[in-house]
Structure 1
């Protein structure tokens, strides 16, 4: 059970750790370069490895960031394949036989 002092530090498979609070407390607007200057050594744990913030934001230098949510979005947009758990995996089950939609048979 979580209490009032517990912080949410994992989102979309990325574990932010202490960087989550740093991003929330940062003064915005800012740039990706300013975030790297302050938090560039912060480590993000991913399902298949880890990356430091400066490695991710090298891809988006001087990008304007208006909020902590924008900073997280920039991180999600720059993490590589190591952020993907199992490639090609889906937890969706296919429809049962008889429940499948039939494709229209059109010729072009």
Structure 2
């Protein structure tokens, strides 16, 4: 996964480390081992520790679960690809029937 940007998130060498880690693993275990490693996304970066903080996942069964969780936790900063108007103008009008 190194050097691969998935949905706007670049795990770099951390991706390889996570793929080679023994699973299942808790967020606490991953934070202790890799918490200072940086995950980069379109508008910034964040440590793995910050990305996993408060995820509510007791145990990860695979690296893929970690990747998916981090992608969800970094939010629009990663996946928006720089389009700040996503969803703008799409709220339904209160007087319009929805199908």
Structure-2-length-normalised TM-score: 0.75
CA RMSD after TM alignment:
2.2
The whole-number CA distance in structure 2 between the counterparts of 1:82 and 1:67 is 24
Match of 1:31 among 26, 31, 38: 26
Counterparts of 2:67 and 2:14 in 1: how far apart (Å)? 10
TM-score between the two structures when normalised by the length of structure 1: 0.69
SS in 2 for 1:78: helix
Give the superposition deviation at 1:88. Answer: 2.5
Q: Alpha-carbon deviations, 1:22-42, whole Å to 9, x = none?
A: 111000001111110000011
Map of 2:85 onto structure 1 = 88
- Structure 2 residues not aligned, in runs of 5+: 88-96
Counterpart among 31, 51, 54 of residue 56 in structure 1: 51
Establish whether residue 45 from structure 1 lines up as the match of residue 44 from structure 2: no
- Contact residue 10 and residue 41 of structure 2 kept, 8 A: yes
Q: Per the alignment, in what secondary structure is the counterpart of residue 66 of structure 2?
A: helix
- Structure 1 alignment gaps of length 5 or more: 1-5, 91-105
Aligned to 2:66: 71
Partner of residue 93, structure 1:
none
Distance in 2, matches of 1:42 and 1:13, equals 17
How many residues are aligned here? 86
The runs of at least 4 aligned residues of structure 1 exceeding 4 Å deviation read none
Q: Distance in 2 between matches of 1:89 and 1:58?
A: 26
